[in-house]
Amino acid sequence: MAIGSLAHIERALDALVAQEGAPPYDIIVAADPELGERATLRARYPDVSMISRAGCRTPIELAAAGIGAAFGSRILLTEDSCVAEPDWVRTLAATVWEGRGAVGGLVEPMPHISPAMWAFCYVDFFRYMRPAAEGTSPSLSVCNVAYHRSHLDAVRPLWENGFLETEIHRELQERFGSLFLAPDAEVRVRRTVTVRDAIYERYAFGRLFASSRLGHVGTGRRLYFLLFSPALPVLLMGRMTAKALGSASTFKSFVKALPALLAMVLAWTWGEWLGYVTRRRPARITTAPEIGAVKSNSASAPPAPVTELPRRSAQSRD
């Protein structure tokens, strides 16, 4: 799932085509059509399949498009904001899938980023950062996850028109087994966006999460979520603090990033609460645009996300 820029796609593809010891795999890039002209990328990566469709711009739409175009028994997902470690495909392709709904790995921030961008990464991925033990996990990130093709085919109606990971993962758990975290499968993420755009993204995805969640619960449960969602900042900050305390270096970064973290957590809470109140998704579900990224549309248009999904033969898909 490519969400940043053509430069991000190139960076991610360099890592994906250089995988070591991996079984045969194909790479698919599902791209926002307004991200920019990809002729140079096509020429540099002739074996990579690049797809786009008019009006298909949000991460949930692009992930569905990429999965729909993929083939093979194992489907791997990542984003163009991520750089896969050299053994990433090999590690995920070798994981046991029987009795597991999906298998995912770690998402670590790249070094030398600002406190605000570290907060942007941490608020989204702290569950998948070190220290992390191998085993059952309550959730996984689509930035680093593997599915079995047969499992996805069994729940195709849920993702054909949009891949909402919380909804899909819930169904996969119910049908095929728990989610599993494999810490040896690692990607590193780096995004550079304005703080304002980062805060809006947190709000939008919080609202999307809540409005989608209501499709699976009754009135009583909705009321429960509505009443207790204002307590989310305390709950989320508590979880993130506990995670940070597990590593001295992480805690140091956590303290530096605290103001930005609080702002993003509050934005998510506001979005989630509004989702429960209105039952409606946000007006714009796009990821924060990269600073300096060139778009083919005008500057006034909504920011353009991309979704990146690899492909290299019949076993994997990124």
User: Residue 101's domain spans which residues?
Assistant: 6-191+292-312
Q: How far is CA 133 from CA 39, 88, 219, in A?
A: 42, 17, 37
- Has residue 283 been placed in a domain? no
- Has residue 251 been placed in a domain? yes
How many whole angstroms separate alpha carbon 10 and alpha carbon 288? 19
Q: What is the pLDDT of residue 4?
A: 75
- H/E stretch holding 89 reads helix 88-93
CATH number (domain holding residue 29): 3.90.550.10
Q: What is the pLDDT of residue 318?
A: 37
Is the same domain home to 220 and 178? no
- Has residue 132 been placed in a domain? yes
Sequence-distant (≥ 6) Cβ neighbours of residue 317 within 8 angstroms: 25, 26, 27, 28, 66, 67, 70, 71, 72, 74, 75, 76, 77, 309, 310, 311
Is the same domain home to 184 and 51? yes
Is the same domain home to 181 and 89? yes
Q: Are 107 and 187 in contact (CB under 8 A)?
A: yes
Is the same domain home to 229 and 157? no
Is the same domain home to 129 and 169? yes
Q: Where are the alpha helices (DSSP H) in 149-298?
A: 149-154, 156-159, 165-176, 195-213, 219-228, 232-244, 248-256, 258-278
Q: What is the pLDDT of residue 60?
A: 86
- Has residue 258 been placed in a domain? yes
Q: How far is CA 85 from CA 13, 19, 101, 120, in A?
A: 12, 8, 23, 21
Is the same domain home to 121 and 211? no
Is the same domain home to 171 and 31? yes
Closest among 139, 136, 135 to 126, alpha carbons compared: 139
Q: What is the pLDDT of residue 192?
A: 93
Q: What is the pLDDT of residue 293?
A: 65
- Has residue 158 been placed in a domain? yes
Q: What is the pLDDT of residue 303?
A: 29
In order along its 318 residues, the chain shows pLDDT tens digits of 777 788 899 999 999 999 999 999 999 999 877 777 788 899 999 999 999 888 777 788 889 999 999 988 999 999 999 999 999 999 999 999 999 999 999 999 999 999 999 999 999 999 999 999 999 999 999 999 999 999 999 999 999 988 989 899 999 999 999 999 999 999 999 999 999 999 999 999 999 899 988 887 899 999 999 999 999 999 999 999 999 999 999 999 999 999 999 999 999 999 999 999 999 999 887 788 888 765 443 322 322 222 333 344 333 333
Is the same domain home to 218 and 256? yes
- Has residue 237 been placed in a domain? yes
Domain count, the chain: 2
Q: What is the DSSP string of 96-139?
A: --TTEEEEEEEEEEPSS--HHHHHHHHHHHGGGSSS--SEEES-
Is the same domain home to 43 and 157? yes
Is the same domain home to 132 and 259? no
∠ CA 64-67-72, nearest 5°, is: 170
* Residue 103 CA to its chain's centroid (Å): 14
- Has residue 247 been placed in a domain? yes
- Has residue 285 been placed in a domain? no
How many whole angstroms separate alpha carbon 215 and alpha carbon 166? 12
Is the same domain home to 224 and 273? yes
Give the global pTM.
0.87
Is the same domain home to 180 and 211? no
